[in-house]
Amino acid sequence: MTTVQFSEETYKKIQEIVQRYPEGKQKSALIPVLHIVQAEHQGWLDVPVMDHVAETLGILPVEVYEVASFYSMFNLTPVGKHVLYVCQTGPCMLLGSDKIMNHIKEKLNIEEGETTSDGLFTLKPAECLGACGYGPMLQLGETYRENLTIEKVDELLEELKKLG
């Protein structure tokens, strides 16, 4: 038995998701469930959380670990409150994503992959996010910020700082 508990709502949602698949194929719910519990646990998955997912879905913990470590949207170490994924791939690069990345690094005084000391921001490089016509761009939570300029990035960072 693991010590972690999810919210009632989460257990209900998991039940609902499992219904989408045939009997005995509840493992298919794993990725959707990891999205939900990661959001509920400060944006990352620690081992007890993953173990409890395994228990809830009736699969082995290792089946959860191997999936969680494969996909770039799952974090296995703590992240800041706001995670900025800046797209770096060719099409965004043509439109100046390097400048955006360097500007954020300077502004927040962190390198790629790092979190600010106040725990507010994590900066991550991302590969093409399917928004190439609206680059340079970044992903923030469940939203995209597109057609970025240095000014827009400054405004965004201010806005997020105010949110705390």
Partner 1 sequence: MGETRLLLKHADVPGIRHYDVYRAHDGYKSAEKALAMTQEEILEEVKTSGLRGRGGAGFPTGMKWSFLAKPEGVPRHLVVNADESEPGTFKDRYLMEFIPHLLIEGMLISSFCLGSNTSYIYIRGEFAWIADILEEAIAEAKANGWLGKDIKGTGFDLEIYVQRGAGAYICGEETALLESLEGKRGNPRIKPPFPAVKGLWGRPTVVNNVESIAAVVPIIDMTGTEYAKIGVGRSTGTKLISACGNINKPGVYEIDMTQTVEEFIYSDEFCGGIANGKRLKACIPGGSSVPILPANLLLTTAEGKPRYMNYESLAEGGFATGTMMGSGGFIVLDEDQDIVYHTYTLARFYRHESCGQCSPCREGTGWMEKILKTIDEGKGKMSDIDLLWDIQRKIEGNTICPLGDAAAWPVAAAIRHFREEFEWHVLNPEECLTRNYGLGNFADPIEIKEQA
Interface contacts to ligand FES, rule CB under 6 A: 87, 89, 91-92, 128-132, 135, 137
CB within 8 A of 154, min separation 6: which ones?
A: 107
Q: How far is the CB of 134 from ligand FES (least distance, A)?
A: 8
Q: How far is the CB of 148 from ligand FES (least distance, A)?
A: 11
The answer to whether 143 and 82 are in contact (CB under 8 A) is: no
Nearer to ligand FES, 129 or 157 (CB): 129
Among residues 46, 32, 56, the alpha carbon closest in space to that of 79 is found at 46
The answer to whether 125 and 101 are in contact (CB under 8 A) is: yes
The answer to whether 88 and 59 are in contact (CB under 8 A) is: no
Q: What residues does 145 pair with on adjacent strands?
A: 138
Q: Taking CB under 8 A as the rule, does residue 93 contact partner 1?
A: yes
Nearer to ligand FES, 112 or 158 (CB): 112
Interface residues toward partner 1, by CB under 8 A? 20, 22, 25, 27-32, 34-35, 59, 63, 66-67, 70-74, 88-91, 93-95, 127-135, 139, 142-144
